[in-house]
Amino acid sequence: MELVLAAAIGVLVASGVWLLLRPRTFQVIIGLTLISYAVNLFIFSIGGLRTGADPVLHEVAGDIGQYTDPLPQALVLTAIVIGFATTALFLVVLLASRGLTGNDHVDGEDGTP
Amino acid sequence: MSNHLIIAPIVLPLLVAALQLLIGERRRRTVVLLSIASCIALVGVAVALLLAASQQGSEATMTAVYRIGDWPARFGIVLVLDRLSALMVLLTAVLALAILPYALAPWRHRGGHFQPLLQFLLMGLNGAFLTGDLFNLFVFFEVLLAASYGLALQGSGARRVSAGLHYIAVNLTASMLFLLGVSLIFGVTGTLNMAALAELIPIVPERTRALLHAGAALLGVAFLIKTAMWPLGFWLPRTYAASTPAVAAMFALMTKVGIYVLLRLSLLLFGDSAGTASRHFGSDWMLWGGVATVATGIVGMLGARDLGKLAGYNVVISAGTLLGAVGLHQPAVTAGALAYLVISTLGIAAFFLVAGLLASDGDEETDDTLNLEPYDPGGDDSKSDALFAAEDESRVVISAPVAMLGLSFFACAILLAGLPPLSGFLAKFALLAPMLDAAPRLGARVLFTLIIVAGLSTVIALCRAGIQIFWAEPERPFAQVRLSEIGSILILLGLCLLLTVVVEGPLRYLGDAARQIHASAGYIHGVLPVAEVAP
């Protein structure tokens, strides 16, 4: 379980960084999105992984040790919302840049004339 | 003092911005009046907070704490007011009030919703300065960044959008690093409250300490990107040069947010009481990073070809100076650094405004910064002959606004270079003198030398720009200067002048502030009352 999750996060980050360094704006935004997925998964896993456990309560109610830590979930929720909003904003700027410069290179000018 | 005053710097701009959005761009007068009222109120609140903070006792074991929702500090989010955060809130409010008149003048490239965005930026800045919780800090950072994206794009145009694109991409990546760092720290310690973290770090088990350090380092990288440390700061001069002057002036404070957080966290979490394994973690990185940043700034400034970039590299130099000073971990140096932070912020903001006024005569659609001629030591004889001929023919008449601009430019140059008699010199002296006394480290000496060299190269770069702008081209058409625009500059420079005359009180306050943040036990006990402190 840990290995699968770690590998997933690693692959997402690696692909994200690769795309982030590409020259086209669309690749950059996909790269940022992949990295943000990886970060969200990472935050989620910080609370600890348990396989086959009850979602919230075990048999005895009121034992704090049986609850999963709710804080990482709150954090990941906030991170998702903020990441989504800023990505949408980036998308708008990307479109504006495309409209103003006429191409989708991050520097606004295409290397190949 | 009512304790609720602490949350006012966050709630007030939020409400005003929301109201301004409801009123809409059409009723400009109402929106502007709301902005002015909000900024004046913020200055008032900040002064009240500052006075409250300065009464916290000389040794300052007390910190005013505001518990949001009245949850105990370990579980809820707290706002913390001490001398440093009160100072930063006041600086923010004063800067915003000072640039407002400039922003009121009709721009050639108008952007929408400047006023609400400015208020949101103020909310984010104040929140970042006041919060005592790492994740809350992330949220406020995102608020101020989102507002700054909008502000950086004010006025549109291909150059701004392209610079804004880089700015946003860099900052989104930095935010991801921020989140990774925060979650690693949470995973190790189980808390995000800064005071609780400071208390836990000395007793973290050895096998997880490496993870904690990795988390802190990731977090640090996120802030260093915002501070524009070499090699993470190449986005800065381009973005600042591309933004409209009023926005760039406000952005002069943005790198200081990074400095503030680094100062706060490195002293609180990895200060003298952090245990042998974690003590001064990362301080060498900040010191040498600061040195490298100052060096980059010097080279960039000498090579800058327009006034906007020149001002941008000045921001880089001041950020590097502060970063190095933070890395030294000496209370006296920190006090000097705080003085330098205030003066350099005001000075650079004024310089951005002056540069904007000088450049605003260009007619090009996208490129409206003032380009300087390439440096040519041999000199172009034919050109200089023509120049002298022109000067002989027509006597140069200096009109009042040009004289005003020239004087402002001159004052900015002296402030930024740190020459006597203005407060820039005092601030630099306050920073440099203890650096020699108390720090026999190699890095301190290198930083000392580089700061002096930076002052010299600032003089060279600004002399060159000033000669070309004011003397070499007598027929250069200066744009019409509005009273409100020059008013902003005069407010900023007047504040610097005031700080030249009134020195003792502010310096004593800054010294107290530095002592207070160096004594991390005071912060911890202020936030976590003794009954709550873990055994």
Predicted confidence at residue B14, as pLDDT, reads 94
Average pLDDT, rounded, for chain B: 83
B285, two tokens: 């990185």
pLDDT band at B437 (very low <50, low <70, confident <90, very high): confident
Task: Calculate what percentage of chain B has a pLDDT beyond 90.
Answer: 30
What is the per-residue pLDDT for A58?
Answer: 61
Amino acid at B335: A
Residue B535 lies in a domain: no
pLDDT averaged over every residue in chain A: 83
The pLDDT of residue B214 is 92
- Tell whether the torsion through CA atoms of B113, B119, B123 and B129 is positive or negative: positive
Cα separation of B465 and A91, whole Å?
38
Per-residue confidence (pLDDT) for residue B93, from 0 to 100: 94
Measured between beta carbons, the chain A residues lying within 8 angstroms of B183 are 39, 42-43, 46, 72, 75
Mean pLDDT of the region B310-337: 90
Where is pLDDT greater, at B428 or B64? B428
Q: What is the CATH number of the domain that holds A34?
A: 1.10.287
Residue A105 dihedral angles phi and psi, to the nearest 5°: -80, 145
| Chain A contact set for B162 (CB, 8 A) | 97, 100-101, 107-108
Asked whether residue A109 is assigned to any structural domain, the reply reads no
pLDDT for the residue B18: 92
Cis status, amide bond into B474, omega within 30 of 0: no
What residues make up the domain containing A28? 2-51+65-101
Q: Tell whether B206 is covered by a domain.
A: yes
Integer Cα distance of B427 and B445 in angstroms: 18
Q: What angle do CA B44, B47, B48 make, to 5 degrees?
A: 85
The per-residue pLDDT for B532 is 47
> Is-contact B353 B489, C-beta < 8 A?
yes
The range of the structural domain enclosing residue B51 comes to: 3-529
Q: Categorize the per-residue pLDDT at B162 as very low, low, confident or very high, splitting at 50, 70 and 90.
A: confident
How far, in Å, CA of B458 to CA of B479, rounded? 26
Per-residue pLDDT tens over the stretch A67-97: 667 788 888 898 999 988 988 989 988 888 8
| A51-60, B20-29, B83-92, B360-369: which is most confident | B83-92
**Using an 8 Å Cβ cutoff, are B262 and B285 in contact?**
no
Q: What is the pLDDT of residue B53?
A: 85
Query: Does the pLDDT of residue B534 top 70, yes or no?
Result: no
Contact B461, B301 (CB under 8 A): yes
CB-CB contact of A58 with B118 (8 Å): no
Report yes or no: B169 and A33 within 8 Å, Cβ to Cβ: no
Q: Find the chain B residues whose C-beta atoms sit closer than 8 A to any C-beta of A.
A: 135, 139, 142, 145-146, 149, 153, 156-158, 161-162, 164-166, 168-169, 172-173, 175-176, 179-180, 182-184, 186-187, 190, 192
**Contact assessment for residue B328 and residue B340, using Cβ atoms and an 8 Å cutoff:** no
What integer pLDDT is reported at residue B52 of this predicted model?
85
Residue B535 — very low, low, confident or very high, per pLDDT cuts 50/70/90? very low
Segment of B17-31, B83-97, B109-123 carrying the highest mean pLDDT = B83-97
Tokens found for residue B128:
């970042």
Residue A10 lies in a domain: yes
What's the number of domains chain B is made of? 1
Please report the pLDDT score of residue B368 as a whole number: 47
Burial class (CB in 10 A: 0-12, 13-18, 19+), B74: middle
Cα separation of the two ends of chain A: 50
Within 10 A of B139 (CB to CB), how many other CB atoms are there? 18
**Dihedrals φ, ψ of B459, to 5°?**
-60, -45
Q: Are A41 and A9 in contact (CB under 8 A)?
A: yes
| Chain B partners within 8 Å of A69 (Cβ) | 190
**Among candidate residues B65, B49, B42, the one with its CA nearest the CA of residue B5:** B49
Q: If you count them, how many residues does chain A have?
A: 113
Residue of B nearest to A9 (CA): B180
Residue B137 and residue B167 in contact, taking contact as beta carbons nearer than 8 Å = no
Which of the four pLDDT bands, split at 50, 70 and 90, describes residue B395?
A: low
**Are the beta carbons of B140 and B7 closer than 8 angstroms?**
no
Least confident of B104-113, B217-226, B432-441: B104-113
Q: Choose among B112, B103, B182, B84: nearest CA to B142.
A: B182
- What is the reported pLDDT for B127? 94
Kindly state whether residue B534 falls inside one of the protein's structural domains.
no
**Residue B279 located in a structural domain:** yes
Whole-angstrom distance, CA of residue A84 vs CA of residue A76: 12
Q: Which two tokens stand for residue B246?
A: 């009023």
Q: Does A37 touch chain B (CB under 8 A)?
A: no
Residue with the larger pLDDT of the pair B272 and B253:
B253
Number of domains in chain A: 1
Instruction: Reply yes or no on whether the pLDDT at B60 is more than 50.
Output: no
Instruction: Confirm if B453 and B342 have CB atoms less than 8 A apart.
Output: no
Q: Are B292 and B224 in contact (CB under 8 A)?
A: no
Task: Report the chain B residue with the minimal C-alpha distance to residue A16.
Answer: B173
Tell me, what's the ipTM? 0.90
Which residues in A lie closer than 8 A to residue B182 (C-beta atoms)? 75
Token pair 């000067």: residue: B391
Report the residue of chain B nearest A99, measured CA to CA: B158
Instruction: Confirm whether A108 is domain-assigned.
Output: no
- Tens digits of residue pLDDT in B344-385: 999 999 999 888 888 754 433 334 455 666 555 554 444 545
In tens, the pLDDT along B277-318 reads: 778 888 888 889 999 999 999 999 998 888 888 889 999 999
pLDDT(B136) > 70:
yes
Check if the beta carbon of residue A69 is closer than 8 Å to that of residue B130.
no
Q: At B81, is the secondary structure helix, strand, or coil?
A: strand
The minimum CA-CA distance between A37 and chain B, rounded to whole Å, is 10
Rg (CA), chain B: 23
The answer to whether residue B521 scores a pLDDT higher than 90 is: no
